[in-house]
Amino acid sequence: MSNPEYTIQAASPALSSDIIRFFEEFYIITDNPAEQENYVDQYTPDAVFIRGGAEPTRGATEIRAWRQHAFDYMKSCKHIPHKMFSLSPDSNEVMLYGRVTIGHLNSQISEGDYAVRAILEKGEDSKLRLAFYEVFMDVYELSKAGAL
């Protein structure tokens, strides 16, 4: 499921190619509103997901409920990840930054930078999943578009 628009530059030589590939595929899934269950499957069953200072979403049930309504407030969403950082080759904790473009229901478009802190775990099926995912984003552009 490769797409050159979602290619991430590893800013740390320590980054695992599996982690880079996970996030490239994760944002393809994230930006597709039809990918409900596949999106939830990117998280561990007890994952914590925090969006821009909002109350944490905990576990698959809450993440699924959030995802089912995420596109109620927007027509489209496009993440363009830029760089990812890690402290060591064995680390499962990364920081990432990129740019997101959101098409709102009121036909306005907003763009802004985002950053992520994430902790990944390998499941019993050896698949990487997010155990912790926190998004930092300046909501100024969203408020200008009338989305908040």
Q: Is residue 119 part of a domain?
A: yes
β-bridge mates for residue 112, sequence order: 100
Q: Is residue 147 part of a domain?
A: no
Q: Is residue 35 part of a domain?
A: yes
Q: How many domains does the chain have?
A: 1
Q: What is the pLDDT along the chain (148 residues), one digit of tens a residue?
A: 666 676 666 666 678 889 999 999 999 999 999 999 999 999 999 999 998 878 999 999 999 999 998 888 889 999 999 999 987 778 899 999 999 999 988 888 999 999 999 999 998 899 999 999 999 987 776 666 665 5
What tokens appear for 29 in the block?
């899934």
pLDDT number for residue 106: 87
Backbone angles phi, psi at 106, to 5 degrees: -85, 15
Q: Is residue 10 part of a domain?
A: yes
CA 22 vs CA 32, 96, 109, 110, 118: distances in Å: 16, 12, 27, 26, 12
Q: Is residue 143 part of a domain?
A: no
Q: Is residue 28 part of a domain?
A: yes
Q: Is residue 11 part of a domain?
A: yes
CA neighbor of 141 nearest in space, from 109, 119, 116: 109
Q: Which domain covers residue 28, as residue numbers?
A: 4-73+82-96+113-137
Q: Is residue 106 part of a domain?
A: no
| CATH number reported for the structural domain that contains residue 127 in this entry | 3.10.450.50
pLDDT number for residue 15: 84
Structural contact between residues 21 and 81, judged by C-beta atoms closer than 8 angstroms: no
β-bridge mates for residue 74, sequence order: 104
